[in-house]
Amino acid sequence: MSWEKNVRRVVPYTPGEQPRGERIIKLNTNENPYPPSAAVLPSLIDIGKGEFRRYPDPKAEDLVEAIAETYGLTKKQVFVGVGSDDVLAMLFLTFFNGGKPVLFPDVTYSFYEVWCDLFRIPYTAKPLDENFHIRTEDYLSPNGGIVLANPNAPTGSLLPLSEIERIVSANADSVVIVDEAYIDFGGESALPLIDKYENLVVVQTFSKSRSMAGLRVGYAMGSERLIRFLQDAKYSFNSYTLSTPIIRAAAAAMRDTEHFQQNCQKIVRTRGRAERRFRELGFCFEESAANFLFVTHPLLPARQIFEYLRGRGIYVRWFDRDRIRNYLRVTIGTDEEMQEFFEVLEGYVYKVRSYGAGEETSC
């Protein structure tokens, strides 16, 4: 077909599987296992019928105000969108337009590469070290922009704030995006640096720590000048990104700080117990600052474990990619979900060991 020569072809991002059913344990997409703030539902019920026939507030003032109040910012320092994916895509579109390559790790959130291909942005994927840690020195060379997930996904490793600042300060001529989807589960946010560095933007989401993945809300925080450029691009693309119910619900969730903190603490405690169980079963992993663990076993192939668990209604994430093909990313669920997960996993590990399937090595 002659029209096909004008098609913008890309290899799309592959989202995590979304199984349906009552008898499943879903530990594959880093969702929060606990419900959102109790303030969310009343905020939806209180919406008058007349509001549904009107366009939503394009500025999402109530939500922007709630975020600004929570983090001690001005409203001009906050940008909101349909999940952090929407926010990140708009950042790529707005700021990564030079001829030099954008830099990000080779093992990280795979959407970064997709956006670069979609928007025709040159990029270089910098290899993580042998322990899947970011090497600061790799981000001190000339570039057209930098994007770092911190904590990184799918590895869970955290780059100290001092190293983030070193990267930002060394790249005054390019925008540095710090994607903090998992920062609430461990680590120090780069947010305090935005008043010091005009080229830094911090991105966070309601999908993980605030238990609202299904409502799709993300936000960016940066200098007023940077956010103004971002807003200009948004209004040239789609003015009404968030619906009225979602603006209300997200604002209510943002203001319930106590519920947010309690949920994060529960997940961190469960993560600690999961780490101990994995070690007892011979798994190897680096310390995680996220709501998941990235694990491998010296004896058991990750794909076989993945398929065994899936056959028993337990879903974890396996990536068919270089360097990480023998790893599994396991989201932290409730204590009850993790107990059942480990009972099934333990049975598999002991069964394989009993057949003598090779000599196990240490981590």
Distance CA(243)–CA(220), nearest Å, equals 18
pLDDT band at residue 362, thresholds of 50, 70 and 90? low
Domain regions of the chain by residue span: 2-34+258-352, 40-255
- Percent of the chain past pLDDT 70, that is, above it, reads 96
Q: What average pLDDT score do residues 49-59 get?
A: 83
Residue 81 gets the label, from left (phi > 0), alpha (psi -120 to 50) or beta, of beta
pLDDT band at residue 49, thresholds of 50, 70 and 90? low
Quote the pLDDT of residue 109: 95
| Phi, psi dihedral angles at 314 (to 5 degrees) | -115, 120
Quote the pLDDT of residue 357: 54
- Which stretch of DSSP H or E encloses residue 60? none
Least Cα distance to 328 among 24, 30, 104 occurs for 30
Q: What is the pLDDT of residues 189-215, one digit of tens each?
A: 999 999 999 999 999 999 999 999 999
pLDDT of residue 240 exceeding 90: no
Q: Selecting from 3.40.50.720, 3.90.1150.10, 3.30.365.10, 3.30.70.240, what CATH number does the domain 2-34+258-352 have?
A: 3.90.1150.10
Question: What mean pLDDT value characterizes the chain?
Answer: 93
CA separation (Å) from 276 to 32, 270, 290, 334, 338? 21, 10, 16, 16, 12
Quote the pLDDT of residue 116: 96
Chain centre to alpha carbon of residue 263: 17
- Percent of the chain past pLDDT 90, that is, above it, reads 82
Q: What is the pLDDT of residues 349-360, one digit of tens each?
A: 988 777 665 555
Q: Is the C-alpha dihedral spanning 68, 72, 74, 77 positive or negative?
A: negative
CA separation (Å) from 224 to 73, 144, 169, 187, 191? 10, 21, 18, 25, 14
Q: What average pLDDT score do residues 222-249 get?
A: 93
Q: What is the pLDDT of residues 24-46, one digit of tens each?
A: 999 999 999 999 999 998 887 77
Q: What average pLDDT score do residues 229-233 get?
A: 95
Model pTM?
A: 0.94
Q: What average pLDDT score do residues 109-121 get?
A: 95
Burial zone of 256 (CB within 10 Å; 0-12 exposed, 13-18 middle, 19+ buried): middle
Identical topology for domains 2-34+258-352 and 40-255: no
Task: Give the three-state DSSP class for 136.
Answer: helix
* Domain covering 40-255 in this structure, CATH number: 3.40.640.10
Q: What is the pLDDT of residues 308-333, one digit of tens each?
A: 999 999 999 999 999 999 999 999 99
Q: What is the pLDDT of residues 253-311, one digit of tens each?
A: 999 999 999 999 999 999 999 999 999 999 999 999 999 999 999 999 999 999 999 99
